[in-house]
Amino acid sequence: AVRPVGEPDEADLVVYLDAGHVLIDVMEAGHDVITGSTHRHSPGCSSLATDGAWLWRLDFPHYLETHHVALPQTFLEHVRSLNYQMPNITVAQFAPHYDETMPMVGWASAVPWRSTATTLIPEPRAVTSKAQFDAAMLTRDRPHGMRRKPRKA
């Protein structure tokens, strides 16, 4: 459900979701399904991320920070218990869940987990902030301060 305001710790929740382990990179671009606008997660929006217990689309942080979507209480408790720190994932424990989940999310042809790593460690990703994205879009849309092209002199 879309709400007028989010959780008091919404910014921390967004950072946590942005730090998720990417399971599948999908090369597509999408728009906000509510407003139709592009957003900072438009590229690769359908990619899947996880913390080893929960699974979400890569564009989910956008909906949290923009539309303040309601989150399950068990997810909030889970993230808060981790102090908003993305955990390492032990591959031996996670691989069976990956193999079971991929067909359920439409990836029936996904090959079984084949990582040679024993542990997945969160890797920093360059994720543009909402403020940076909005400022860049404003500049792109109105480079001269107005929507129309400047008149020739």
Q: What is the pLDDT of residue 3?
A: 84
Residue 58 lies in a domain: yes
Residue 135 lies in a domain: yes
Cα dist. 105→13, 24, 54 in Å?
23, 11, 13
Instruction: Give the SS3 label for residue 91.
Output: helix
Mean pLDDT of 66-83: 95
Residue 151 lies in a domain: no
Is residue 32 scored above 80 in pLDDT? Answer: no
Asked which of 6-15, 54-63, 80-89, 143-152 is least confident by mean pLDDT, the reply is 143-152
Question: Would you state the structure tokens that stand for residue 114, as one six-digit string?
Answer: 């084949």
Residue 95 lies in a domain: no
Run of H or E residues at 127 = none
Is residue 139 scored above 70 in pLDDT? Answer: no
pTM of the model: 0.68
Chain segment 79-136, per-residue pLDDT in tens: 999 999 999 988 777 777 777 777 777 766 666 666 777 777 777 666 666 666 666 6
**Percent of residues, the chain, with pLDDT higher than 90:** 22
Q: How many CB atoms lie within 10 A of CB 95?
A: 15
Q: How far apart are CA 47 and CA 57, in angstroms?
A: 6
Is residue 78 scored above 80 in pLDDT? Answer: yes
Query: pLDDT-derived band of residue 12, with 50, 70 and 90 as boundaries?
Result: very high
Residue 69 lies in a domain: yes
Q: How far apart are CA 83 and CA 16, in angstroms?
A: 9
Question: Would you state the structure tokens that stand for residue 1, as one six-digit string?
Answer: 């459900």
Residues 20, 75, 58: CA angle, nearest 5 degrees: 30
Q: What contacts 98, CB < 8 A, 6 or more positions away?
A: 23, 112, 113
Overall domain count for the chain: 1
Expressed as residue numbers, the domain containing 75 is 10-87+122-141
